[in-house]
Amino acid sequence: MQDKEISGYKSIALDIAQRIVSGEMAVNSTISGRSLLAGQYHVSPETIRKAIGLLKEESIVSVSQGKEVVILSRHNAYEYITKNNYLKSVYSLRQDLQLLLKEKQSIDQKLQTLLTELIEASDRLQNLKPYNPAELKIASHSHVVGQTIGNLQFWQNTGATIVALRRGTNVSISPGPHVILMEDDVIVVVGDEKMFEATGDFINLMRE
């Protein structure tokens, strides 16, 4: 507990010195009373008294009989924070902040790019016409009977993609190119607006 108290009042002394160096607290001005400082730093008045005592020892401030604290020297404040490596830690924090800001800018740019791509993709999808799947039954006379989907070059000849095949009570989803089409198979196809007619014409071609 004692080490924490020592660390606390030294940190406050260094912070006040830094505020003097930065010009936030001007030379010859009076620092607020202990009770106000205690409220700012959320510590006891005794901790503030010890912090002011350190600054007084370094001739950074003076304390009158009436407990008025007057700032004496910006130079001494600078020497004090330099001696305690306080400037180094502040500089390191500043570098870390700059790195984080650069990372944030990079992330923001990536996010903006992704949002743009998403919006463009959404626009493209909105421009597509919805095509409902169509079912076509393969007749016994069709030239596709006994042929594999791959050998028939089904998509190249019709513009349709077979997404399912129903054979009796069995249904196959996304049948591969090696599946052999048979009489009475029902194929479920999707494609553009010309697909249904082209597929119908193709599977209704009679075997030679």
46 occurs within a structural domain? yes
- What are the C-alpha distances in Å from 68 to residues 34, 93, 175? 9, 33, 90
Yes or no: say if 27 and 20 are a contact pair by the CB < 8 Å rule.
Answer: yes
pLDDT for position 2: 40
89 occurs within a structural domain? no
103 occurs within a structural domain? no
Q: Which domain holds residue 29?
A: 2-84
pLDDT for position 5: 43
DSSP 153-172: THHHHHS-EEEEEEETTEEE
pLDDT for position 73: 93
149 occurs within a structural domain? yes
pLDDT for position 62: 92
Yes or no: say if 192 and 155 are a contact pair by the CB < 8 Å rule.
Answer: no
pLDDT for position 76: 93
pLDDT for position 97: 77
CATH code where residue 11 lies: 1.10.10.10
Whether the pTM exceeds 0.75: the reply is no
CATH code where residue 197 lies: 3.30.70.1450
Q: Does 138 share its domain with 66?
A: no
Q: Does 80 share its domain with 138?
A: no
Which of 84, 99, 115 finishes a domain? 84
pLDDT for position 3: 40
Say how many domains are in the chain: 2
Written as six digits, the tokens of 62 are 């003076």
What is the chain's pLDDT, residue by residue, as a tens digit (208 residues)?
Answer: 344 444 578 888 888 898 898 888 899 998 876 666 767 778 888 888 888 999 999 999 998 877 788 999 999 999 998 888 765 556 556 667 777 888 888 887 887 777 677 666 655 555 545 556 788 899 989 999 999 999 999 888 888 888 888 888 888 888 888 999 999 999 988 877 778 888 888 988 876 5
